[in-house]
Amino acid sequence: MKLHLEKLELREIGMPLKAPFETSFGTSFERRILVIRVFDRDGGIGYAECTAPAGPFFNHETIETAWTIIKDYIAPILAKSEVGQASEVSEILSPIIGNRMAVGGVEAAIWDLEAKRAGAPLWKYLGGISPQINCGVSIGLQSSPELLLEKVTKEVESGYQRIKLKIKPGHDLELVKIIRNSFPDILLSVDANSAYSLENDLDLFKQLDEFGLLMIEQPLSAGDLLDHSKLQKHLKTPICLDESIASFRDARHAIELEACRIINIKLGRVGGHAQAKAIQA
116, 168, 230, 266: which is the annotated catalytic residue?
A: 266
Q: Concatenated DSSP letters for the chain? A: ----EEEEEEEEEEEEEEEEEEETTEEEEEEEEEEEEEEETTS-EEEEEE---SSTTSSS--HHHHHHHIIIIIHHHHHTS---SGGGHHHHTTTS-S-HHHHHHHHHHHHHHHHHHHTS-HHHHTT---S----EEEE---SSHHHHHHHHHHHHHHT-SEEEEE-BTTBSHHHHHHHHHH-TTSEEEEE-TT---HHHHHHHHHHHGGG--S-EE--S-TT-HHHHHHHHHH-SSPEEESTT--SHHHHHHHHHTT--SEE---HHHHTSHHHHHHHH-
Catalytic residue among 166, 168, 233, 277: 166
Residue 168, C-beta contacts closer than 8 angstroms, at least 6 positions apart: 23, 24, 141, 192, 193, 195
User: Is 166 annotated in the active site?
Assistant: yes
User: Which are the contacts of 167, defined by CB distance < 8 A and separation ≥ 6?
Assistant: 24, 141, 175, 176, 190, 191, 192, 195
> What is the C-alpha to C-alpha distance for residues 215 and 219, in angstroms, rounded to an integer?
10
Residue 67: other Cβ atoms inside 10 A: 16
Catalytic positions, written as ranges: 166, 266
